A and B are shown apart, each in its own frame.
Chain A
Amino acid sequence: MDFDLTEEQRLLKESVDRLIADSYGDFEKRRHHQDNPRGYSPVLWAQYAELGLLGLPFSEEQGGFGGGPVETMIVMEALGRGLALEPYLASIVLGGGFLRLGGREELIGDVVGGTATLAFAQIERQSRNDLHDVATTARRTEAGWVLEGAKSLVLHGDSATHLIVSARNAGARRDRAGISLFLVPADAAGLSRRGYATQDGLRAAEVLLEKVALPPEALIGAEGEGLPLMERVVDIALAALCAEAVGAMEALHELTLDYLKQRKQFGTTIGSFQAVQHRAADMLVALEQARSMTMYAAMMAENPDPALRRPALAAAKALVNRSAELIGKEAIQLHGGIAMTMEYKAGHYFKRLTMLINQFGETDEHIRVVAEAGGLPAAA
């Protein structure tokens, strides 16, 4: 058993922590990055590329740096601490996951270099978080494929150069079989998108697909077998989200503790009241439980066996969700009015955590996955 990072991982952590501290440490900088039409800083994205962060999950043969879920965890935790806006989850974890596991290596170079960015177009009006609920259709033609449908809340979908679209080539709307995945250039004829800000300060897009004609090689993986691949990639994203949450919770907890030590009422610091101390202690308990489960998620994220992997990742997200809920709400409450303001950082962490809880499945949905599996796999 070994919880220590390797020397290389420690260096990675130091450099990404430094980058995030420099570019987000002063909260005004985040507002500034946000004002960019893309909703994040392209300059900063280029720095991510220079540091090698964008190539981490890809193997060296693919043009990457051969990192794994632990490296992703290190990066996502730092991004969570800084409430970073860049599309690391969308383009590298999700998009990159589809490229490397779906055998689409030709685009990896541009993604690693930061010139191409990806977004995962999956949610539909009726689908909620069900990956297999797909009404968008893919029809085979002589020239390749034609996609027809609408996708919603595509994270960073407005600025991505390419979209990964789930579409149904066979079966009924909620069948598990018959779903295919497509790599679609954002400027494809018939594809239109409308971008907007999200509650947590990120960007998303509505994507309309009207007779979008694609060549045969747009298909990722095997026809009709998109779901298992989506589940693999989403599980990797769940591990990444857990790490982002841990970073955000850690920063929010620190911010709260600092405030409890400074803010005076009734002639003393509010942190001297035992009622407040116990609440801050419970926040730490929740944070450490989440950190443990995030390590478990990283360990299980790339396991190819869904029977082992799926309940493990669901368990991690369920626990992290509950910690995020508790820490977010308690941080606001223990600050009092000040945390209700846009001006102050705590509310922004709370909003990101609230939205993160809902990403790729809410708490009850994940608990259900674990329950239906009959619990967690025994010793891994």
Chain B
Amino acid sequence: MDLRYTPEEIAFREELRGIFRTKIPAEIRRKVSDGHHLTRDEIATAHRALHAEGLATPNWPLAWGGKDWTPVQRYIYNEEVLANAVPMPLSFNVAMVGPVIANFGSEEQKKKFLPGTASLDIWWAQGFSEPGAGSDLASLKTSARREGEHYIVNGQKTWTTLGQYADWIFLLVRTDPAAKKQQGISFLLVDMKTPGITVRPIITIDGAHEVNEVFFDEVKVPAENLVGEENKGWDYAKFLLSNERSNIARIGFSKEKLAMVKSRARETPAGDGTLWDDADFRRRVAIAEIEMKALEITQMRVVAGQKNRASDKPDPNSSILKIKGSELQQMATELMLTVAGPYAAAMPAHSHNEPPVGPDWAEGVAPQFFNYRKVSIYGGSNEIQRNIIAKAFLGL
């Protein structure tokens, strides 16, 4: 047993850090660090900069621009992206639809979609959730009926993250209304410009336009846009959802946030000195760091265990990582709220076109704290994760 990285792994990490810190514009990293949402262009700029370095799609098959990395290297990559406040390459492209097309798509689909998906010339959105199908995703109702060489799609998706920018959307649709829940579902690729699609914004409690409702009214989709086999979509969705398990804990985010908590606390006046002199505050940070160290090692154990597992099986350990990882991210954003103190209360200046009320980093703090309630809701809520642990691990 040796919990340390090898010299080669350390060299690999240093190389990544060098690239992240020089190739991604500093203003973008600063915005991420301060908890602000990025514009469409900023997301694209960062994604393309990584792509130019061959670092947008390391988890894809080699033939399509992936990397021949070890699980530890993949882990280091994920952590370093977040820890350096680099925007993750668009996950809908890179972690979700790309691998599904690469594994289950036709040769034509691979050629048509994969290069643009890697470079972000095609911007994807994820159309899974529906108003009536959240945790119980398999109860989805959006339908696709076959008419000649087309599917006709009707229904509604919701919570579609960044759908307002999307060129294409990948959908789970019901193709066999008679089949049992999971069995009548297919995986369909749809051009957002097709007539009959309406996108409506949902404004979240932090005031941001991050998610959308997407309506489908008699939308005509060429049958060639079906991925894999009809009514096998649930299998591809399970593959997709388990695919990102190596990054589910987002420890790098918490690490970066806690580092910022400490450095901001050191410059925040409180009492006769700074907030960092406050023993109660330091104690809270210490508790978060202790949790983080444990999670980091748990995550490494899962990574190390991956080489002994069949890679297409979901790993119930990912539920442990999701629960603790999301709690830690929320804890870190909450500590930042304490650092900002009274200044967390002011609305961001752009909403009233004036200079910020407090220190300029403080204005994104409350919105991010509000926004990060989502991490224990989406991607399988923490209650659902506990149900999985109870069933898959505990046999209850």
Of A128, A152, A364, the contact of B280 (CB 8 Å cutoff):
A364
Interface residue A374 (Cβ < 8 Å from any Cβ of B): no
Known contacts A336-B135, A337-B159, A358 near B345 by CB under 8 Å = yes
Interface residue A302 (Cβ < 8 Å from any Cβ of B): no
Interface stretch among B200-208, B242-250, B314-322?
Answer: B200-208
Interface residue B341 (Cβ < 8 Å from any Cβ of A): yes
- Once bound together, how far apart are the Cα atoms of A355 and B337, in whole Å? 10
Interface residue A378 (Cβ < 8 Å from any Cβ of B): no
* Smallest CB gap from B366: residue in A: A199
- Do B203 and A343 touch (CB < 8 A)? yes
- Do B383 and A347 touch (CB < 8 A)? no
Interface residue A36 (Cβ < 8 Å from any Cβ of B): no
- Do B357 and A199 touch (CB < 8 A)? no
Of A194, A273, A275, A364, the contact of B281 (CB 8 Å cutoff):
A364
* Smallest CB gap from B134: residue in A: A336
The proximity string for B residues 365-396 relative to A, scoring 1 for CB distances below 8 Å and 0 otherwise, is 01101100110111001110011000000000
* Smallest CB gap from B281: residue in A: A364
- Once bound together, how far apart are the Cα atoms of A153 and B387, in whole Å? 44
- Once bound together, how far apart are the Cα atoms of A267 and B180, in whole Å? 14
**Interface-centre pick from A129, A199, A276, A355 (highest chain B CB count, 10 A):** A199
- Do A198 and B347 touch (CB < 8 A)? yes
Q: Which residues of chain B have C-beta atoms less than 8 A from A348's C-beta?
A: 205
Interface residue B124 (Cβ < 8 Å from any Cβ of A): no
- Do A152 and B342 touch (CB < 8 A)? yes
Known contacts A336-B134, A342-B207, A343-B203, A199 near B346 by CB under 8 Å = yes
Known contacts A342-B203, A347-B370, A351-B205, A336 near B341 by CB under 8 Å = no
Interface residue A266 (Cβ < 8 Å from any Cβ of B): yes
- Do B357 and A343 touch (CB < 8 A)? no
Chain B positions 75-129 with a Cβ under 8 Å from a chain A Cβ: 129
- Once bound together, how far apart are the Cα atoms of A341 and B269, in whole Å? 34
- Do B341 and A358 touch (CB < 8 A)? yes
Q: Which residues of chain B have C-beta atoms less than 8 A from A340's C-beta?
A: 204-205, 373-374, 377
Known contacts A130-B271, A196-B357, A341 near B204 by CB under 8 Å = yes
Chain B positions 204-255 with a Cβ under 8 Å from a chain A Cβ: 204-205, 207
Known contacts A343-B203, A355-B345, A362 near B338 by CB under 8 Å = yes
Interface residue A182 (Cβ < 8 Å from any Cβ of B): no
- Once bound together, how far apart are the Cα atoms of A196 and B377, in whole Å? 31
- Do B342 and A358 touch (CB < 8 A)? yes
The proximity string for A residues 361-377 relative to B, scoring 1 for CB distances below 8 Å and 0 otherwise, is 01010011000000000
- Do B352 and A197 touch (CB < 8 A)? yes
- Once bound together, how far apart are the Cα atoms of A353 and B158, in whole Å? 28
**Interface-centre pick from B272, B284, B347 (highest chain A CB count, 10 A):** B347
- Once bound together, how far apart are the Cα atoms of A130 and B341, in whole Å? 11
Interface residue B14 (Cβ < 8 Å from any Cβ of A): no
Interface residue B164 (Cβ < 8 Å from any Cβ of A): no
- Do A368 and B280 touch (CB < 8 A)? yes
Known contacts A196-B352, A337-B159, A341-B202, A358 near B136 by CB under 8 Å = no
- Do A265 and B139 touch (CB < 8 A)? yes
* Smallest CB gap from B272: residue in A: A174
* Smallest CB gap from B390: residue in A: A275
- Do A129 and B386 touch (CB < 8 A)? no
- Do B382 and A333 touch (CB < 8 A)? yes
Interface residue A176 (Cβ < 8 Å from any Cβ of B): no
- Once bound together, how far apart are the Cα atoms of A266 and B135, in whole Å? 8
- Do A265 and B135 touch (CB < 8 A)? yes
- Once bound together, how far apart are the Cα atoms of A71 and B391, in whole Å? 52
- Do A337 and B271 touch (CB < 8 A)? no
Interface residue A250 (Cβ < 8 Å from any Cβ of B): no
Interface residue B155 (Cβ < 8 Å from any Cβ of A): no
Shortest C-beta distance, A313 to chain B (Å), equals 19
Interface residue B354 (Cβ < 8 Å from any Cβ of A): yes
Q: How large is the interface on B (under 10, 10 to 19, 20 to 34, 35 or more residues)?
A: 35 or more
Interface residue A146 (Cβ < 8 Å from any Cβ of B): no
The proximity string for B residues 307-347 relative to A, scoring 1 for CB distances below 8 Å and 0 otherwise, is 00000000000000000000000000000011001111111
Shortest C-beta distance, B180 to chain A (Å), equals 13
- Do B347 and A329 touch (CB < 8 A)? no
- Do B136 and A199 touch (CB < 8 A)? no
- Do A275 and B386 touch (CB < 8 A)? yes
* Smallest CB gap from A331: residue in B: B373
- Once bound together, how far apart are the Cα atoms of A316 and B373, in whole Å? 27
Interface residue A192 (Cβ < 8 Å from any Cβ of B): no
Known contacts A337-B377, A358-B341, A350 near B135 by CB under 8 Å = no
Q: Which residues of chain B have C-beta atoms less than 8 A from A273's C-beta?
A: 383
- Do B378 and A337 touch (CB < 8 A)? yes
- Do B135 and A276 touch (CB < 8 A)? no
* Smallest CB gap from B378: residue in A: A337
Chain B positions 117-160 with a Cβ under 8 Å from a chain A Cβ: 129, 132, 134-136, 139, 158-159
The proximity string for A residues 313-351 relative to B, scoring 1 for CB distances below 8 Å and 0 otherwise, is 000000000000000010011001101111100011011
Interface residue A200 (Cβ < 8 Å from any Cβ of B): yes
Of A153, A194, A196, the contact of B342 (CB 8 Å cutoff):
A153
Q: Which residues of chain A have C-beta atoms less than 8 A from B347's C-beta?
A: 196-199
- Do A194 and B354 touch (CB < 8 A)? yes
Interface residue A206 (Cβ < 8 Å from any Cβ of B): yes
Interface residue A354 (Cβ < 8 Å from any Cβ of B): yes
Q: Which residues of chain B have C-beta atoms less than 8 A from A198's C-beta?
A: 345-347
Interface residue B351 (Cβ < 8 Å from any Cβ of A): yes
- Once bound together, how far apart are the Cα atoms of A118 and B129, in whole Å? 49
- Do A196 and B346 touch (CB < 8 A)? yes
- Do B136 and A266 touch (CB < 8 A)? yes
Shortest C-beta distance, B366 to chain A (Å), equals 5
Interface residue B71 (Cβ < 8 Å from any Cβ of A): no
Chain A to chain B: the 4 pairs with minimum beta-carbon distance, closest first: A347-B205, A265-B136, A126-B269, A364-B280
Could you write out 18 A-B pairs with CB less than 8 Å apart?
A152-B342, A204-B346, A270-B135, A273-B383, A275-B386, A333-B381, A333-B383, A339-B373, A341-B203, A341-B204, A342-B205, A351-B370, A354-B337, A355-B344, A355-B345, A358-B337, A358-B341, A362-B338
Assuming A337-B159, A341-B204, A354-B370, what are 20 further A-B pairs, CB within 8 angstroms?
Answer: A125-B269, A196-B347, A196-B354, A197-B352, A198-B345, A199-B344, A199-B370, A265-B135, A266-B135, A266-B136, A329-B373, A336-B381, A337-B129, A343-B202, A347-B205, A348-B205, A354-B369, A355-B345, A358-B345, A364-B280
Which of B's residues lie within 8 Å of A, judged by CB? 129, 132, 134-136, 139, 158-159, 202-205, 207, 269-272, 280-281, 284, 337-338, 341-347, 351-352, 354, 357-358, 366-367, 369-370, 373-374, 376-378, 381-383, 386-387
